[in-house]
Structure 1
């Protein structure tokens, strides 16, 4: 009779374990589903961040190109301003020479005129 009791006891224990195993399996399955959802959300966030990074990188590239163009234009404007300043200075010096010559002529002509007083 001992072998029959052992088989019956083993069957009772095996009937008790499946519900615990089923519960553990259900808990693990739910946990796995939760982890899969979290992974999916994480991958979606990562993809959004990659896209945002790409857009930011593109804006930075455009800004750098604009900065280069502005610097080039500024350099051209500075060179033009220097040229205009030199031309202005040369014109000013020429006018000053003309004025000085005119003053000398006036002084010499007034000195040579008889004093009418």
Structure 2
């Protein structure tokens, strides 16, 4: 069975249509892929910005926490010194009361 020139042209035309259709599908897939890639880049940029903001906030919070800790240590030292002073005053007052209530020797 011999293949005619017309059959070859028809087969080639059909194959060409299939290639054209496949090419269009590949181009569509490529566009969709490029759109997804751009969306991912945009998402990545947003995430990166959120991370930068979070890191800045963390740094500020750490600085504030350090200041608060230093202030707390100063207050604790001040309170300790005040308590020690009050205890000394109380001890002196108790000593004076004890001396005042002690019987005095009569001559």
TM-score range, shorter chain: over 0.9
What are the superposed Cα offsets for residues 70-100 of structure 1, whole Å, 9 maximum, x if unpaired?
A: 0000000000000000000000000000000
Moved over 2 A (4+): none
Larger Rg, first or second structure (1 or 2): 1
What is the match of residue 50 of structure 2?
59
**TM-score normalised by the chain length of structure 2:** 0.93
Among 52, 67, 79, the residue aligned to 1:76: 67
Structure 1 residue 88 corresponds to structure 2 residue 88? no
CA distance in 1, matches of 2:89, 2:28: 90
- Structure with bigger helix share is 1
**Number of aligned positions between the proteins:** 104
**1:13 positional shift:** 2.2
**TM-score normalised by the chain length of structure 1:** 0.85
What is the match of residue 94 of structure 2?
103
What is the match of residue 6 of structure 1?
none
